[in-house]
Amino acid sequence: MLSRRRILQMSGSALLLAQLPMAVRSAMGIEGLLAETDLIYVSPIKTNGDESQCQAEIWFVHEGTDMYVCVQSASWRVQAAKKGLNNAHVWIGDVGNWSSSSGKYRALPMVNASVEVIDDAAVVEKALAWFGDKYPLG
């Protein structure tokens, strides 16, 4: 029997870590918002400071000051992080599919985050377990 963890491992997915500065999280009440939503919206920031057109609603888990998302390894988010584009805007909340939301996600609380691709197998396993707990039917 294939588990969700095995399917994610075989699908060419990558785990991205978005770190939110604790001062930002505390000042904006981010902890409560993260606990109340199943989605975040993420856009990598290009070298010129503009947001990438690669915006999407994404499942996430968080632990302390770290937020984890699991996305396709070939996605622009992963490729951007590997190219050194380590900053992103993260909107916290759920307004459905970003492309049909008429930009409503932009009214959600937004934070700046630093991003990296996680290769540490132990961290990946722990994060995948958190995903299984948070999204048991997904």
Per residue in 83-104, pLDDT (tens digit) is: 888 898 999 988 888 788 888 8
The predicted pLDDT at position 133 comes to: 93
Q: Residue 2: what pLDDT?
A: 42
Q: Which pLDDT score, from 0 to 100, does residue 76 have?
A: 77
> Domains (ranges, CATH) in the chain?
4-134 (2.30.110)
CB burial of 105-133 (b: ≥16 within 10 Å; e: otherwise) equals: beebebbebebebbeeeeebeebbeebee
pLDDT at 130: 92
Determine the residue type at 109: P
pLDDT recorded at residue 67: 87
Which of helix, strand or coil describes residue 101? coil
DSSP H or E run through 71 = strand 66-72
Residues of the chain with pLDDT under 70: 1-28, 138
The pLDDT of residue 12 is 52
Q: What pLDDT does 32 receive?
A: 78
pLDDT of residue 14: 59
Return the number of other C-beta atoms located less than 10 Å from residue 18's C-beta.
Answer: 26
Q: In sequence order, what are the beta bridge partners of 90?
A: 42, 111
Residue 61's CB is within 10 A of a number of other CB atoms, namely: 21
